[in-house]
């Protein structure tokens, strides 16, 4: 479809067209002229975006009822958004990952940072899991599926529809098999010498969190000869990496029994089952109980879910991060290590660091900050979009 036949949407006079032209990828609802014609566009419609002077800005995917009413796709309005365009985007994304990783286990597409706004694709060998979290991507899902198979050669493509972002776009929550078949059992994934079991259909998100890979590796360097506690461990992220790094033993704590079972399976496949234990329960209650039991560890890691997923939750989220630090710091042996993580994009690095230091201080401990980690390079940061740099990992010596 040429730009001549595409609908046109327009920025309000007060909208920051300059920021959008410089790369900011979102157009908020209050920046778009939402007249009757624009409101009548089907979610996911590709349209030409004009500024207040009717000069073209680029091509956008429009979702009139969403807070993010438009997502920038291309600055060149003559480009056709379709299968060939998707092939080009995916090819460029794949080139980076193949340069970075020796095996096909990585995040292939990290949404806006890879030029596909709202789209997450994680690769597990010959299977990809797609999260089309924006209406434009949902509308082009058949083309995206074909392009993904062509570029990567994968034989199975699954749709994961559990993201909160899909709700905000007015999309359904129905998972689907787009190509091939869903794996009948969790898949083993090798990272940092550890084996993780990824449940692609019943697990959290796409089945495994690749973003912590470099932080797992750094923590594993501190784990040799140490007892390790991994709280909010999911399928054993930090704990299994620590065992691969020479930890004497590791304890994984999580509220999910299925996640802990997958962690146990991973430890067994690594030959580390005798050094690994799990404890199901509320994280704060478990941290309290471990303290009362007199337990101490050479390395403690807390990697909670997003306590501040959006700005309205920021204050409460920072209090929660402070509480995590206050409850975990007493369990760290003198001169040993505490790793505190946040995946909340609303809590910037400075705010998160401050909350952690308050918690450590209120626990009566003093800290050196020895390392600050972020998401791995298969989760690239889009400089114009702070939200794409969501992950922080602070490593303290107490």
Question: Is there a catalytic annotation at residue 128?
Answer: no
Which of 336, 341, 343, 356 is flagged as catalytic? 343
The 10 Å CB-count burial string (b at 16+, else e) for 36-66 is: eebeebebbbbbbbbbeeeeebbbbbbbbeb
Catalytic residues: 343
């Amino acid at each position: 479809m040429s730009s001549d036949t595409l609908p046109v949407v327009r920025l309000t006079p007060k909208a920051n067209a300059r920021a959008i032209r410089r790369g900011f990828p979102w157009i908020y609802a209050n920046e778009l002229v939402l007249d009757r014609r624009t409101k009548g566009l089907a979610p996911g419609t590709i349209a030409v975006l004009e500024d207040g002077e009717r000069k073209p800005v680029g091509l956008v995917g429009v979702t009139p009822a969403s807070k993010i009413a438009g997502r920038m796709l291309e600055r060149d309005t003559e480009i056709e958004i379709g299968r060939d365009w998707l092939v080009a985007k995916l090819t460029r994304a794949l080139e980076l990952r193949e340069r970075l990783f020796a095996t096909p286990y990585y995040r292939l597409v990290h949404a806006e940072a890879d030029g596909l706004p709202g789209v997450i694709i994680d690769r597990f060998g010959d299977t990809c899991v797609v999260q089309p979290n924006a209406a434009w991507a949902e509308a082009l899902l058949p083309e995206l599926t074909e392009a993904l198979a062509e570029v990567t050669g994968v034989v199975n493509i699954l749709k994961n529809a559990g993201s909160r972002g899909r709700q905000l776009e007015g999309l359904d929550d129905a998972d689907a098999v787009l190509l091939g078949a869903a794996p009948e059992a969790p898949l083993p994934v090798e990272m940092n010498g550890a084996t993780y079991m990824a449940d692609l259909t019943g697990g959290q998100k796409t089945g495994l969190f690749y973003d912590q890979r470099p932080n797992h590796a750094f923590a594993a360097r501190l784990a040799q000869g140490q007892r390790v506690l991994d709280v909010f461990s999911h399928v054993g992220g930090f704990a299994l990496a620590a065992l691969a790094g020479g930890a004497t033993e590791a304890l994984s704590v999580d509220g999910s029994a299925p996640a802990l079972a997958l962690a146990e399976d991973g430890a067994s496949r690594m030959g580390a089952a005798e050094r690994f234990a799990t404890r199901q329960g509320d994280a704060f209650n478990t941290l309290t109980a471990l303290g009362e039991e007199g337990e101490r560890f050479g390395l403690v890691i807390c990697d909670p879910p997003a306590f501040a997923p959006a700005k309205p939750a920021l204050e409460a989220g920072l209090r929660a991060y402070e509480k995590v630090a206050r409850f975990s710091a007493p369990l760290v042996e003198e001169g040993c290590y505490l790793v505190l993580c946040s995946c909340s994009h609303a809590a910037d690095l400075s705010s998160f660091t401050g909350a952690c230091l308050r918690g450590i201080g209120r626990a009566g401990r003093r800290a050196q900050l020895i390392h600050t980690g972020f998401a791995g390079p298969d989760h690239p940061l889009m400089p114009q979009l702070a939200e794409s740099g969501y992950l922080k990992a602070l490593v303290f010596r107490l």
